[in-house]
Structure 1
Amino acid sequence: MSFNDILTPLRAQNPLVQCITNYVAMNIAANVVLAAGASPAMLHAVEEIEDFTPICGALTINIGTLDGAWAASMMAAAKTANASDVPWVLDPVAHFVSAYRKGVAQDLLVQRPTILRGNASEILALAGEAGSGKGADSGDSVDAAKGAAEALARDYGATVAVTGPVDFVTDGTQSAEVTGGSALMPQITALGCSQTALMGAYAAAGPAFDAALGALAHFKAAGNVAASQATGPGSFQVHFLDALASVGPDDLAQTVLG
């Protein structure tokens, strides 16, 4: 099965995806997962993790609006996912902006996520290299973060996805790039965070490298369609959700450079 073919079993299985994400992203992330063909659950109470995480097809963790209670839930969910063979995705949003956030991100990384997704500045900093990110926005190019992504993949046994105008994904031995999308995409708040949730849906239906590549391609393909119909950020969001539901495996394949 190739990366784009994962979309077919994803839609057939409608996997349950636990999304521990930030307040800003909850609505758009849930809608993105639903439009793509999976079932989101925005559950983060630590008291429910032991019962809920094992029944999910995948777990996604986004540290965007971090606090102590959520950090405890994230760690409990990551450990439970590992113990239950549930694939999970880590999105270390702006982990370099404070010592506390950096510590939480590093603690989660040690749990060895199935997929690590971030922008170039986040990936560089997570690998211990200097970056120029500003908050959740990247100040570095995807090309500059390729080496860091490959090192993180080898060190933690993860597939690493670096997102930007041209996405890069690697598992330390193989890599690919994904092109397309729209310049309007960064103008939709938390759209990148919702991609993390979509990666969880793909990880529930296929192997890690192909899942990350498929989710990246799905976003780019839907962005291509929405860009041809939208007149601004507001209409783009509506068309983008529609396109997530309408694009097929062949559309995804056209975005990957190899």
Structure 2
Amino acid sequence: MHITEQSFQTMLVDEVKPGILRVTLNRPDRYNAMTNTMFREMEQLAWAVDAEDDCRVVILTGAGKAFCSGYDLADAEDLPNLGALGMLDQQERAARALAALRSMRVPLIAAVNGAAAGGGFSLALAADIRIGSPTAKFNAAFVKIGLSAGDLGVSWLLTRLIGPANASEICFTGRMVGADEAARLGLVNRIDDDAVAGALEIAEQIVGNSPGGVQLSKRALQANLETGSYAAAIELENRGQALLTRSSDMPEALAAFKEKRAPVFRGE
């Protein structure tokens, strides 16, 4: 993939297996804390992934002991001096980055290998699937520094993922949620000794399926989280199925079934 040839200051990118891209946040000395450079590079990464037809799944993890510790507090000291519009611009810069990752056309799996705090929690929530290591832990620490847990999508995503009561407790207290509790609540899909290896196992299963089918499944699942009615959801699903029957993958799947062989999907 051409994206592996690009150079990033805040992350490492490699194709760990055909079609599977591993992105490693690479500021271990700062527990992979977010900076404006990282936000910009996240957007660039998302654009590059969408331009890669060979990319089928992205695994996101962190270097060292943490997944991501949120916005770098070394930069946060200047936030009160920005003014209302300056702070809004800063928020929108960060929000664009996470929204770009979440809206990539291929599945995003977060391999949470340690702390996912504050904005790092938001980043983990932006993934389609989360695999945690035994050292994974999560918190919405915003209230502890005088900010709202309504930050970078937490108020929308967390409530839908674990329910309003659990989300309220976690957000109002700012407490840490350990790996076992995260699995019990459904905050992570599962816990693996090696989160990246667990994510890779799921990614390989995804790669074995029709690229178009997976991409339109992601589109339908995300879009219908925001749809207000069953009828509207069905309408979106109908259009996706009609579109996919025009691709080469569905006839190939039917032929492979009849011939008792594995299908060869081309995503065309």
Q: TM-score, normalised by structure 2?
A: 0.34
Structure showing greater Rg: 2
Task: Select the structure with the greater relative contact order (CA < 8 A; seq sep ≥ 6).
Answer: 1
Q: TM-score, normalised by structure 1?
A: 0.36
